[in-house]
Structure 1
Amino acid sequence: MGGASSRDQQSSTSPFFDQKELQGLRSAYEEGGLEKAASLIQKKIKDLEGIELNIAVTGESGTGKSSFINAIRGLQNVDEGAAKVGNIETTMEPTPYRHPTLPNVCFWDLPGVGTAKFTADKYLAKMNFKKYVFFIIIIHARFKENDAKLAGEIKRLGKDFYLVRSKIDNDLDSMKMGGMKFNEEEELGKIRDDCVSKLKEAGLSSPAIFLISSFKINQFDFPALQETIANNLNDIKKHAFMLSLPNTTVKIIDQKKNALKSKIWMLATISGAVGLVPIPGLSFSCDIGILVTAIIQFRQYLGLDDASLQRLANIARKPVGDLKAVVKTPLVGEINQDFVVRMLMGSVFVGISVAEAVFDFIPVFGSLFGAASSFGITYKLLNNVLDELTENAQRVVEAAFGTAPKH
């Protein structure tokens, strides 16, 4: 990775608000009460859901750009919406490929640098450099002069880039088919050292290189690449990027859970401001619409909707029935107002008779709300829903890849 760090100053207590925004929330609450503050939080949620991530993927023809773009979106090359795969340069203009469930996350397949149409010295200007939050440069057999020039120019202009050595499984398989006996870790180390050596010769100091297979995205350096990218984004962009990743490791699921958990106090605050309509049969009020929408979104982000399960089954080369068989929660069924009311009337998800929640950590408002308020009920239910969905998503990963969930 090279270039300037993309992380901005955020509040440690609320990762989506900087200090100035938190002060604005306090002022809004002091001037107009909870309703005015909640309107600012609602705008922040809308901004989070609308954040655009444009990610550039470049490299010469045959390096595996298209397969990588498909893999990081959780698609196979034959799936609807997949990037076209070929060994000749099929991309002559920047081509967008949107995420199947988060369309604001978009990977752009760029023409290979150094083609007759796109010489290295004019490449970034023609590619609309400023659009992209970072670049991924895909190489295979050799790191060439044009790749080095591109990396240097990206670094000079202050953007992040990631160097990816693709098709690593092909290299290992060729050695096995040739009858060679070798230690896989040692061989990967040799390949990595060779790449780093050539990158240094090309003028890149202390380069990091990620060895990946786009067909084994839970192996080699693919998970490390995803984590490194996420950690170099500010909290808002990291939120969008993490939620877009396919569920190939337990760690990704845990990070998604943490990202979604950071939104719960925001949703609960809005519920506390507008959830004033009593629910028949219950002694408290709650905004059912907020709960319905949040549960459906959480389920999709954690990969438990039918379409996500099918895509993961395709990646893992397992029958989708095997993955669905380990899902043990009613939260994968139809989620509507009646379903949520039934949850609220029970004690499985909410446990409202026990005022165990402590809300004094909440930015701006402190312990303004009680455990039996609309805020408290929303907060408690969504946390329990998130725990339930996370446990099931972990079991799905274990069924798909044989990875034991982390407890």
Structure 2
Amino acid sequence: MGGASSRDQRAETSNRLEDETVESSNSTFFTNEELTKLQSDYDMGGVEKVKTVVQQKVTELDNTELNIAVTGESGAGKSSFINAMRGLEFDDEGAAEVGNIETTMEPTGYKHPNLPNVCFWDLPGIGTKTFPANKYLKKMKFKRYDFFIIISACRFTENDIQLAKEIKRLGKNFYFVRSKIDNDLYSKRRRGRQFNEEEELKKIRNDCVSKLQEAGMPSPRVFLISNFDLNLYDFSLLNKALEDDLPTIKKSVYILALPNISSETVEKKRKELRKQVWMLATLSGGIGVVPIPGVSLGCDIGIVIGGIVHFRQCLGLDDSSLQSLAKRAGKPVEDLKAVVTTPLVGGEITPDVINRLAWGAAAVTASAIEVFLDTIPVIGSIFGAGSSFFFTYKLLSAALDDLTESAQKVMSAAFGNENDPNQTSVQ
């Protein structure tokens, strides 16, 4: 009976490993052609050649910039949108200045708190005396930006249409965002009128679309949002549109830069970070027997620690992110930290902490290791079961799972069930 139980455990472990590795290997930053080249490079130059190619991809990922332009007329809510996307309140350090008059006199960049290669640009309102429409396009250096968010708090104007047409001419993507939807619905409620919220949202959206079509935009998409509650209305649809339009690496960077507003967002981040695990493990990997974890770490400890710190920041579990989330949720930060059970949050990541994780990563059978290696294209055939690649992969995977679980618990502590985006509008 004990033998059967042991076999069941081995099978369960093997299946879990296979699920994890198939997920990571089928959705990497490498094309099939690049994976084939990895095998060729290994045949010609061995492990060091492969590590060089992977390092180039990791460097590309680290250095990829994402520049997001937020534009529209003054008072449309551009600064509030930028602050919300960076997980900041208007009075936080580094927040964009909010006001009902034009506060932006030139393109002003606001870097993401944890991902400095992501920058939101607050552009001056078009059509003001300072920035007339006929001079606006040239002054704003439009080629700098990856895509444009055109925000309006009421109806999109002739200037907005002219702006969109020029963006399209430059081959860039743009998205019409109708802000302050919460204000519109609040005004309706104050009047004491009974109305169907879904029907009212549909009416606002259709009105924006029809006006844009009359002005010469054939198939405009308009997204309704509230800068003060990104879970509501069309924000998830806006995100999906942006993700679908961005190339692979920039899409990943954008997802990791999103504020933690729902459990769905946290899960998206986990999937993106999972793609990075095997690349980091490859940099750490080498053929040979690994000493028993707990006695000596058989991997590049610097790579492991660096990876965990990066995961922690992307998942919003560093101190500054937790402080900002607690402020946004109106909860003491201690309440959020209290639900975290992993030692990877709230202190320095040391070799001793990694050593403790290594015991769990080593608790796999030989059959599970074979399954693991077989399910990773190219890389699995390069590194042996005793390599530091395997143990680094398991350490980073275990750390990512622990941190994701904690991030989900923190979201629940902050917002309860409100962090599930149940209200999704249909266009």
- Tell me the TM-score normalised to structure 1 length: 0.90
**Pairing 1:400–2:414 present:** yes
> Of 296, 299, 323, which residue of structure 1 is paired with 2:312?
299
> Of 368, 381, 385, which residue of structure 1 is paired with 2:399?
385
Distance in 1 between residues matched to 2:288 and 2:266, nearest whole Å? 30
Deviation at 1:220, TM superposition (A): 1.6
Partner of 1:179: 192
Deviation at 1:355, TM superposition (A): 4.7
Distance in 2 between residues matched to 1:317 and 1:178, nearest whole Å? 29
**Pairing 1:373–2:387 present:** yes
Deviation at 1:402, TM superposition (A): 2.1
Conserved? CA contact 2:127–2:159, under 8 Å: yes
Partner of 2:54: 41
RMSD: 2.3
Conserved? CA contact 2:106–2:124, under 8 Å: yes
> Structure 1 residues 279-288 or 262-271, which shifts more?
279-288
Distance in 2 between residues matched to 1:76 and 1:275, nearest whole Å? 51
Deviation at 1:284, TM superposition (A): 7.1
Partner of 2:138: 125
Larger RCO of the pair (alpha carbons < 8 Å, separation 6+): 2
Partner of 1:318: 331
Distance in 1 between residues matched to 2:180 and 2:267, nearest whole Å? 28
Distance in 2 between residues matched to 1:135 and 1:249, nearest whole Å? 24
SS of the residue aligned with 1:97? strand
SS of the residue aligned with 1:403? helix
Partner of 2:183: 170
Conserved? CA contact 2:25–2:377, under 8 Å: no
Partner of 1:55: 68
Partner of 1:7: none
> Of 359, 373, 388, which residue of structure 1 is paired with 2:373?
359
**Cα gap change, 1:405 to 1:350, in 2 (>3 Å):** farther
Equivalent residue letter for 1:182: F
Partner of 1:97: 110
SS of the residue aligned with 1:76? coil
Percent of aligned pairs sharing the same letter: 59
Equivalent residue letter for 2:396: L
- Tell me the TM-score normalised to structure 2 length: 0.86
Partner of 1:114: 127
Which structure 1 segments of 5+ residues have no match?
1-10
SS of the residue aligned with 1:356? helix
Deviation at 1:274, TM superposition (A): 8.7
> Structure 1 residues 235-244 or 13-22, which shifts more?
13-22
Deviations 1:65-107 (A, max 9, x none): 0000100111111110001111111112111111011111001
SS of the residue aligned with 1:330? coil
Distance in 2 between residues matched to 1:404 and 1:110, nearest whole Å? 32
Conserved? CA contact 1:213–1:220, under 8 Å: yes
SS of the residue aligned with 1:106? strand
Pairing 1:4-403 to 2, within 5 Å after superposition: 13-273=26-286, 278=291, 282=295, 285-332=298-345, 333-344=347-358, 346-347=359-360, 349-353=361-365, 355-357=367-369, 358-403=372-417
More helix by share: 2
Conserved? CA contact 1:275–1:287, under 8 Å: no
**Cα gap change, 1:262 to 1:246, in 2 (>3 Å):** same
Distance in 2 between residues matched to 1:361 and 1:121, nearest whole Å? 57
**Cα gap change, 1:96 to 1:263, in 2 (>3 Å):** same
What count of residue pairs does the alignment treat as equivalent? 394
Equivalent residue letter for 1:167: K
Distance in 1 between residues matched to 2:170 and 2:351, nearest whole Å? 51
Distance in 2 between residues matched to 1:353 and 1:20, nearest whole Å? 33
